[in-house]
């Protein structure tokens, strides 16, 4: 597909693969409905076509490609999931995937030999749709030759493990299992309210049994079984039931959204129900996110992936926008780690990821306030001038005629701004000081505290 500036796409092995959607930050959009999980990620890879001639252009949009064939794609990142192999060109935001059902064999090739002591490490894929493809590993961003061998072996192991498990076939198995559930067949024998109530009871019972089976393992074969084998059975049981568990969580998530909309439409009539919904939200958030790759799984591009994950996390449900366009690092650190569950990140990893956001062009960046040194994550669209005008309007609306000597004559405090804009008091103080430095506000410091008032000289100048 041609880009927005009508620039034709290159004709290469990557653009001829199956299309893969990317998130706004450049992360792979996994097929969560099918239980897809990312297991490995490596950078500085190449994709080569080893067949004769060239691959055919995609039929859906063959006119959007150049007429010049390039048999090698360089500077790619290789992502191994439970369902496919995905290769991404981050600079051009192009991604292509190789589903495992189309992979006949995957073998490791290359490496040092007597004639070529520095031969590259490769994975040779014999595919049913694109013939022979080679994925060449160049050892990450620092180009060490020894690391390229480790990257190749880790990716190949993940591919073989995924091919052995065949997670992509779970959808058909789950569909057959879903059709055989008692809650689905009960309507054939009962009708009306009785059928609905019986079906709901069976659904609750089935979900409880599902969690017990996934987390309890095989409890009927505890005799004469070694500890290692028992642990493996628990893991296998959990992996078999991972997709149904995910569907249960997604069902509760959709229920939450409906409850939120209903509570908003009925105002205070559903306050208690809204509180219960918020508790359920917190519980589901503590369960963690899928595909939160560790540093070992991501290799040298760990902090880049982490930066993209943080951006997608803050964009989801407009978390950063609702926070006023910026959030403190402590808030981001706590919220993001709670979403990741047990696979938490360190403060150093967060700082390194934030330093990469601006270079990656993700729409967010780190900012440090000069007066206090407070570090925040800020949306690149945030405008200090707009915020200063907003605070000046808030200060102007607070002014009123003094009726009694003890009456408050107006002005705004840090607490007022924090309550009105729903931002932390720390950020409210920084915004007020910034607006004062820009000339929109002036302050009155007394023993009772500090209050900010509209700057009448600035107002006269603007008039």
Q: Which range in 108-122, 282-296, 411-425 is most confidently predicted, on average pLDDT? A: 411-425
DSSP 270: G
d(CA 22, CA 38): 14
d(CA 427, CA 332): 14
Per DSSP, the residues of 277-325 read HHHHHHHHHHT--S----HHHHGGGHHHHHHHHHHHHHHGGGHHHHTTS
Residue with tokens 């060109």: 89
Predicted local distance difference test score (pLDDT) of residue 191: 58
Token code pair at residue 140: 């990450």
3-state DSSP of 62-125: HHHEEEEECCEEEEEEEEEECCEEEEEECCCCEEEEEEHHHEEEEEEEECCCCCCCCCCEEEEE
Comparing 102-116, 175-189, 214-228, 340-354, the range with the smallest average pLDDT is 214-228
Per DSSP, the residues of 119-167 read PPEEEEEEETTTEEEEEEE--STT--HHHHHHHHHHHHHHHHHHHHHTG
**φ, ψ dihedrals at 424, nearest 5°:** -60, 150
- pLDDT tens, residue by residue, 291-329: 556 666 666 678 888 899 899 999 888 888 888 888 999
Residue 164 burial by CB count (10 A; 0-12/13-18/19+): exposed, middle or buried? exposed
The answer to whether the CB of 103 falls within 8 A of the CB of 126 is: yes
Token code pair at residue 160: 């073989």
Strand-pair partners of 122:
109, 136
As a whole number, mean pLDDT of residues 383-412 equals 76
SS3 168: helix
As a whole number, mean pLDDT of residues 11-23 equals 90
Predicted local distance difference test score (pLDDT) of residue 410: 78
As a whole number, mean pLDDT of residues 223-241 equals 51
The answer to whether the CB of 403 falls within 8 A of the CB of 342 is: no
Residue 449 burial by CB count (10 A; 0-12/13-18/19+): exposed, middle or buried? exposed
The answer to whether the CB of 125 falls within 8 A of the CB of 199 is: no
**Residue scoring higher pLDDT (418 or 142):** 418
Nearest in space to 390 (alpha carbons), one of 364, 445, 428: 428
As a whole number, mean pLDDT of residues 119-130 equals 92
d(CA 239, CA 350): 30
DSSP 55: P
pLDDT category of residue 88 using cuts at 50, 70 and 90 = very high
Predicted local distance difference test score (pLDDT) of residue 61: 58
Half-sphere exposure of 230 (CA within 13 A, CB side): 10
Token code pair at residue 370: 């000069």
Q: In terms of residues, how long is the chain? A: 463
Q: Which range in 181-195, 257-271, 414-428 is most confidently predicted, on average pLDDT? A: 414-428
**Residue scoring higher pLDDT (347 or 447):** 347
Residue 368 Ramachandran class (φ > 0 left, ψ -120 to 50 alpha, else beta): beta
Predicted local distance difference test score (pLDDT) of residue 221: 43
pLDDT category of residue 76 using cuts at 50, 70 and 90 = very high
260 vs 263, 277, 280, 316, CA distance in Å?
5, 8, 12, 16
Q: Which range in 19-28, 99-108, 250-259, 392-401 is most confidently predicted, on average pLDDT? A: 99-108
pLDDT of 189 above 90? no
Predicted local distance difference test score (pLDDT) of residue 107: 94
pLDDT of 244 above 80? no
Strand-pair partners of 18:
97
As a whole number, mean pLDDT of residues 19-36 equals 84
pLDDT of 280 above 50? yes
As a whole number, mean pLDDT of residues 252-273 equals 59
As a whole number, mean pLDDT of residues 241-266 equals 60
d(CA 253, CA 285): 10
pLDDT category of residue 373 using cuts at 50, 70 and 90 = confident
Predicted local distance difference test score (pLDDT) of residue 123: 94
State the alpha helices, DSSP H only, in 316-455. 319-322, 329-340, 347-360, 384-398, 414-421, 425-437
pLDDT of 67 above 70? yes
d(CA 64, CA 104): 30
Per DSSP, the residues of 211-266 read HHHHHH--TT--TT--HHHHHHHHHHHHHHTHHHHHHHHHHHHHHHHHHHHHHHHS
The answer to whether the CB of 221 falls within 8 A of the CB of 209 is: no
**φ, ψ dihedrals at 137, nearest 5°:** -105, 125
**Residue scoring higher pLDDT (438 or 294):** 438
The answer to whether the CB of 436 falls within 8 A of the CB of 457 is: no
Predicted local distance difference test score (pLDDT) of residue 85: 95
Strand-pair partners of 393:
none
d(CA 354, CA 271): 38
């Amino acid at each position: 597909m041609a880009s927005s500036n009508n620039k034709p796409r290159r004709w290469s092995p990557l653009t001829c693969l199956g299309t893969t959607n990317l998130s706004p930050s450049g992360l792979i959009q996994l097929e969560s409905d099918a239980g897809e999980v990312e297991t490995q990620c490596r950078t500085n890879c190449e994709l080569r076509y080893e067949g004769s001639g060239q691959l055919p252009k995609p039929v859906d949009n063959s006119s959007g490609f150049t007429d010049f064939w390039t048999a090698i794609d360089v500077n790619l990142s290789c992502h191994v999931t439970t369902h496919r192999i995905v290769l991404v060109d981050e600079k051009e935001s192009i991604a292509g995937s190789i589903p495992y059902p189309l992979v006949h064999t995957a073998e490791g090739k290359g490496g040092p030999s007597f004639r070529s002591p520095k031969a590259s490490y490769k994975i040779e894929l014999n595919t049913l749709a694109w013939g022979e493809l080679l994925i060449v590993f160049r050892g990450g961003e620092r180009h060490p030759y020894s690391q390229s061998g480790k990257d190749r072996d880790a990716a190949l192991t993940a591919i073989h493990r995924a091919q052995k498990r065949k997670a992509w076939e779970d959808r058909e198995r789950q569909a057959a299992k879903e059709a055989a559930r008692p809650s689905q067949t009960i309507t054939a024998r009962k009708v009306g309210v009785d059928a609905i109530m019986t079906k709901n009871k069976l659904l609750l019972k089935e979900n409880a049994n599902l969690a017990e089976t996934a987390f309890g393992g095989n409890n009927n074969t505890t005799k004469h079984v070694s500890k290692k084998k028992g642990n493996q059975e628990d893991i296998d049981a959990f992996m078999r039931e991972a997709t149904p568990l995910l569907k249960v969580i997604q069902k509760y998530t959709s229920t939450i959204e409906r409850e939120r909309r209903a509570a908003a439409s009925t105002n205070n009539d559903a306050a208690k129900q809204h509180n219960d919904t918020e508790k359920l939200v917190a519980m589901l958030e503590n369960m963690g996110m899928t595909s939160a790759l560790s540093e070992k799984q991501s290799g040298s591009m760990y902090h880049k992936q982490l930066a993209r994950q943080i951006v997608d996390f803050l964009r989801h449900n407009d978390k950063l926008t609702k926070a006023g366009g910026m959030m403190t690092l402590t808030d981001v650190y706590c919220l993001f780690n709670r979403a990741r569950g047990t696979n938490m990140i360190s403060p150093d990893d967060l700082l390194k990821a934030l330093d990469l956001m601006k270079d990656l062009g993700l729409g967010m960046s780190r900012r440090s306030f000069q007066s206090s040194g407070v570090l925040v994550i800020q949306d690149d669209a945030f405008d200090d001038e707009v915020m200063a005008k907003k605070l000046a309007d808030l200060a102007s609306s607070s002014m009123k005629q003094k009726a009694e000597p003890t009456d408050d004559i107006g002005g705004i405090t840090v607490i007022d701004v924090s309550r009105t804009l729903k931002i932390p008091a720390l950020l409210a103080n920084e915004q007020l000081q910034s607006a004062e430095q820009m000339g929109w506000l002036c302050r009155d410091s007394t023993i009772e505290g500090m209050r900010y008032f509209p700057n009448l000289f600035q107002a006269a100048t603007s008039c």
